Amino acid sequence: MSSVSNNINRSTSNDKVNCNNLVQTMVNHVISSYYNLPVSERTVFQLLTLIADHWKKINEKCFSSTTEYYTTLAKSTDFLLKGLTYNEEASLEAYNGQPVIINKLKSNNGIHATVYLVEVDQEVAMKLCNQVRNNLMKKISNGELSVRICSLVNGSSYKLYERR
């Protein structure tokens, strides 16, 4: 009896991981598509259109319930709207296949980088912060450097600041 229960739990866990991977892939495509547009076309409407186009590729059955499906869609959309439309003139780079939004600061020659992940814990956040930091340090000799990892599910963010 317990082996059946363990198999169900393992299957549910694997389904959740696969679902998160699908949503993360969708988020990565939305971010990449948005930042590949000319700055003049980076609008809220365009972002909503991209989210809708990419989100419809995700099967609702991937989620444990309809509520989870729509909650994840709503939260992801909300955080992407708040983050991406604010950074219209930012550029995009990729590190290990992960899109990284780069804002170059004119005032102090600094760089702010932001990464959006579906699910993130402190260990993943710090590892990714350090990877992005190491890549960006090659680009600036002085100034402020900050890296922010944002969770699209719960809105938490992890930040790494460094002054040079």
DSSP conformation letters of 38-104? -GGG--HHHHHHHHHHHHTTS-GGGSSSHHHHHHHHHHHHHHHHHHHTTTTT-EEEEETTEEEEEEE
pLDDT score of 78: 94
pLDDT at 160: 82
Q: State the pLDDT at residue 67.
A: 94
| 74 vs 41: CA distance, rounded Å | 23
- State the pLDDT at residue 159: 87
Q: From the first residue on, what is the mean pLDDT of each consecutive set of 10 residues in the chain (164 residues)?
A: 40 67 93 93 95 93 92 93 82 88 80 89 86 83 84 87 68
Stated pTM of the model: 0.82
